Amino acid sequence: MLFCHLGHANSVRDISNGLRSITGNINHLGCRQAPAKSTVSYVNEHRTYKIFQEFYYALADYFRQQTKFSKPALHHIKRKVYLLDASVILLSLSLYDWAKFRTRKGAVKLHLLLDYDGCLPTFADLTHGKVHEIQVARKMKLPNDSILVFDMGYYDFSWWYNLDSMNNWFVTRAKDNLDYEIVEDFDISNEKDKNVLQDCNIKLASHKGKNEYPKMLRMVRFWDEENQNELVFITNNFYWTATTVAQIYKERWNIEAFFKLIKQNLKIKSFVGTSENAVQIQIWTALITILLLTFLKTKAKYQWHMSNLITFIRLNLFVKIDLWEWINQPFIRPKQENTRQLSLFSG
């Protein structure tokens, strides 16, 4: 299945024929012969996806012990930062009748919790498309004293209160119809960042809000220069600067970039099997693939862009060359020729 993702195989036939075509190189994969397409289909349907799920988590833990993944930004934030989101993957209802989403459409939903250090999933769940994001979020367990960033799809005041009770901080966007009352409005006239429009402490005013989140919250209004619009953030942290609150939420785009990366470069929009187990296997092997590639990218001396790394590995998938030698210096440098010209006249 890793070959499926890296080789962009479109079917079990492509996987089988692709591995058969590499002849003697199959031995380096620990295989005596390439699997038949019927074998790949049978395994995808009958071997539980939980094997790949457990392998992903074990491999992720191992790599985190081997290397320190860097933060894209927020270097001044010492606590762990997690990014939460979900993405719908559409399916043909005629082939995936178990994944009914709408009247004529099928879908599954990939829920991810990304560790901001390295931007790799620390939790993943694949559900039917109708399952709401908050149902999966309630099942997650975060380390105490961590920071969670999520969008407006996770509006659940009781879940927010649970996060706060576990000594976790969160940053999210406020809905336009949020019912609240201002408890304390802070003077921002001396604020260095002029994009900060308001910084205040609030309490939820609706009956539901009062019951489910009785504590105080903080609201920050911020002007987004790039998109020329006003953003309103909600957090349970009262110590950060207003600019830091905005910066933390801004980094949420990393999880959107992650979804875009795997959808564009790996095989998770079309599947080689139609059973629910086969789809799960393909998703989990995609996460294993991106984990391996992230480790290579982090350790490489050459400054790779992830999409370029995936493309170049695909082009050189079975080239017999030392992996680290190639990944550190992917381009052969031309030999320096002696350009010194001979003298036309000798003395």
Q: Are 115 and 146 in contact (CB under 8 A)?
A: no
Q: What per-residue confidence (pLDDT) applies to 102?
A: 86
Tokens of 79: 């606590």
Q: Which of 110, 133, 59 is nearest to 290 (CA)?
A: 59
Residues of the chain under the 70 pLDDT cut: 23-24, 334-347
Q: What per-residue confidence (pLDDT) applies to 317?
A: 83
Q: Which of 218, 267, 284, 253 is nearest to 56 (CA)?
A: 284
Q: Are 261 and 120 in contact (CB under 8 A)?
A: no
> CA 315, CA 317: separation in Å to the nearest integer?
6
**Helical H runs in the chain?**
2-6, 12-20, 37-46, 50-66, 133-137, 157-165, 207-212, 242-250, 253-265, 276-299, 306-315, 323-328
> CA 186, CA 232: separation in Å to the nearest integer?
15
Q: What per-residue confidence (pLDDT) applies to 335?
A: 65
Q: Are 230 and 223 in contact (CB under 8 A)?
A: yes
Q: Which phi and psi (to 5°) does residue 293 adopt? A: -65, -40
Residue-wise pLDDT for 245-274, tens only, equals 999 999 999 999 999 999 999 999 999 999
Give the side-chain half-sphere CA count within 13 A for 341: 3
> CA 108, CA 96: separation in Å to the nearest integer?
10
Amino acid letter, 132: H
DSSP string, 47-91: S-THHHHHHHHHHHHHHHHH--PPPSS-TT--S-EEEEEEEEEEE
Q: What per-residue confidence (pLDDT) applies to 23?
A: 63
Q: What per-residue confidence (pLDDT) applies to 345?
A: 56
Q: What per-residue confidence (pLDDT) applies to 119?
A: 92
> CA 232, CA 199: separation in Å to the nearest integer?
10
Tokens of 41: 């289909």
> CA 293, CA 337: separation in Å to the nearest integer?
36
Task: Spell out the domain ranges in the chain.
Answer: 2-150+257-323, 173-251
Q: What per-residue confidence (pLDDT) applies to 24?
A: 61
